A and B are shown apart, each in its own frame.
Chain A
Amino acid sequence: EVQLVESGGGLVQPGGSLRLSCSASGFIFSSYTIHWVRQAPGKGLEYVSGISRSGGSTDYADSVKGRFTISRDNSKNTLYLQMSSLRIEDTAVYYCVFQSNGNVYWGLGTLVTVSS
C-alpha cells in the first residue's frame, strides 16, 4: 500500500525557517517525480515545488522561489522541503504528492503556521 507521511510542521515566526519531511513507502520512490502541494486554511490547492527522480531537476512556484528548497534522499525514501524567510501567507497544510498510472497519491499533510 502506498503511504506518504509528512512531518516537520509547526508554529514558526515570520522570517523563520522550517524543514518538512515526507517518508514514502509502498512504491519505488526513486522512480517518481515527487511534489509538494499546499492548502491554506479554507483556500484551494496550490502547487509549491517538484523534484525529478534523480533530484537533478527541480521547479518552484513563483510564490516560494528563492525561499524554499526541495530535495530528496532516495536511499531513505524521503522527500524534503526546506522553507526559509517564512511569511504569514505560507501558512497552510503541506502535502507530499506523486502521480502514477492515472492516480495522484496524497499524504495526510502537515500543518505549517507562520505567526508572531
Chain B
Amino acid sequence: QAVVTQEPSLTVSPGGTVTLTCASSTGAVTSGHYPYWFQQKPGQAPRTLIYDASSKHSWTPARFSGSLLGGKAALTLSGAQPEDEADYYCLLSFSGWVFGGGTKLTVL
C-alpha cells in the first residue's frame, strides 16, 4: 500500500505565497494518479479545490493553483488570505484511494 506524504504544517504571511506538496512512496506522482486537493475547515467536511492535478472548480479561489512539480503534486497559494487557514489534504489514486496525512496551514 502506497504512503502519501504531505508537510504536517506550514505558515504563510497574509498576502504571501506558499506551496504544499504531496509525495508518493512508490515514486513520482503523475497525472495518472489523478491528484486531488481538498480544503477542510474545523467542523466541516472537506471541499474539493483541485482535481486532476491542476483543474479548478468554479468555487476554487483564483489564488489557488495545482501542478506537478519535481515528482510531486503541488498546491500553490498566491496571496494568502486569513480565510485560507485550514487543513489541506491531497488524494492520489492507485488501485484505490490513498490520502495524504494533511497539511495544517496557518496564515500569520
A50 and B96 contacting across the interface, CB-CB below 8 Å: yes
* Of A35, A103, A108, most B-chain CB atoms within 10 Å: A103
Say how far A97's CB is from chain B's closest CB, in angstroms: 9
Q: Name the contact of B98 in the complex, choosing from A47, A106, A107, A109 (C-beta under 8 A).
A: A47
A28 in contact (CB, < 8 A):
no
Mostly, the A contact residues are: strand
Q: Name the contact of B97 in the complex, choosing from A35, A107, A108 (C-beta under 8 A).
A: A35
Q: How far is the CA of A47 from the CA of B89 in the complex (A)?
A: 12
- B31-51 Cβ-contact flags toward A at 8 Å (1 or 0): 000001010000001111001
A44 and B51 contacting across the interface, CB-CB below 8 Å: no
B99 and A47 contacting across the interface, CB-CB below 8 Å: yes
Q: How far is the CA of A107 from the CA of B98 in the complex (A)?
A: 19
- CB-CB under 8 A for A45 and B55, given A104-B36, A104-B38: no
Closest residue on chain A to residue B89 by CB atoms: A45
B57 and A102 contacting across the interface, CB-CB below 8 Å: yes
Which A residues form the contact surface with B (CB < 8 A)?
35, 37, 44-47, 50, 59, 62, 95, 102-104, 106-109
